[in-house]
Amino acid sequence: MTIEVHQFPCLSDNYGFLVRDDATGAVATIDTPDADAVNAALEERGWSLTHIFNTHHHFDHAGGNEALKARWGCQIVGAANDAGRIPGIDKGVHDGDRVSLGDSEAVVFEVPGHTVGHIAFYFASDGVAFVGDTLFALGCGRLFEGTPEQMWSSLGKLLALPDDTIVYCAHEYTQANANFALSVDPDNEALVARASDIARLRADGLPTVPTSMALEKATNPFLRPASVTLRQSLNMSAATDVEVFAETRRRKDNF
Ligand code: ZN
Ligand code: FE
């Protein structure tokens, strides 16, 4: 059960991802930011699209569903509890469900917060997670529909993944996220070092995605509300984790 992932830029700052099951040649696109770009990536490789795995309903994630389904007749998998907003959905899934891609399999996590029906796909045997707009490199999704409590509990599901999990997030927001992260956690040496790595990568036009859970746990302020230095800089020594998370998110919204 091995997959190959092909990542490519889409729209202004999205990433598209094709996932191919080696054993059977089944191919899923994680979201459909741009049908033309997904088709071009498939054609380049000579791959045929069999599945669409949607993380959430936003246009830069599900906007290409119908065009791709019309061309490929592929199966669309999305959140059962957001089925009304996922164009062309064939199969609604819930937390803990397993979805097949040929001989490979992804576990579904319900991760509400950015939207109420946001889900993530975790290919456990390959140690790969597609997290949409829930977790970003050094950031997390804006709370358009959910509460800080919901988002913090969603991030908790991702925090439970092994440290070496490869995390594919849906946008290249890392440089801006790094600037914010440094503003709230300036004494975090791992963060300072990472920020200069990121600046170098971006100056060369290179992606900062994927990331890993280990790197995010060490440097992402949205995953570190228990951090003593972060709490000191926010003046929130006695607060709960979710209060610190909520304040961090609020500051980022106004940064
Ligand atoms: Zn979104
Ligand atoms: Fe998005």
Ligand nearest to the CA of 13: 2
Q: Quick one: pLDDT at residue 213?
A: 98
Q: pLDDT at residue 17 above 80?
A: yes
Q: pLDDT at residue 131 above 80?
A: yes
CB atoms inside a 10 Å sphere around CB 18: 21
Ligand 2 centre to CA of 127 (Å) is 23
Burial, 164: exposed, middle or buried (Cβ in 10 Å; 0-12, 13-18, 19+)? exposed
Q: Quick one: pLDDT at residue 100?
A: 98
Q: Quick one: pLDDT at residue 122?
A: 98
Mean pLDDT computed over 51-77: 98
Ligand 2 centre to CA of 187 (Å) is 30
CA 70 vs CA 37, 57, 83, 137: distances in Å: 15, 18, 19, 33
Ligand nearest to the CA of 60: 2
Q: pLDDT at residue 78 above 80?
A: yes
Ligand nearest to the CA of 30: 2
Mean pLDDT computed over 198-210: 98
Q: Quick one: pLDDT at residue 61?
A: 98
Ligand 2 centre to CA of 193 (Å) is 27
Q: Which domains does the chain have, with CATH numbers?
A: 3-169 (3.60.15.10), 174-253 (no CATH)
- Three-state SS for 102-160 is CCEEEEEEECCCCCCCCEEEEECCCCEEEEECCEECCEECCCCCCCHHHHHHHHHHHHC
Ligand 2 centre to CA of 132 (Å) is 7
Are 65 and 76 in contact by the 8 Å Cβ rule? The answer is yes
Ligand 1 centre to CA of 120 (Å) is 12
Q: Quick one: pLDDT at residue 41?
A: 98
CA angle 176, 182, 186 (to 5 degrees): 175
Active site residues: 56, 58, 60-61, 114, 133, 171
pLDDT tens, position by position, 141-161? 999 999 999 999 999 999 999
Q: Which of 190, 173, 195 is nearest to 229 (CA)?
A: 190
pLDDT tens, position by position, 156-196? 999 999 999 999 999 999 999 999 999 999 999 999 999 99
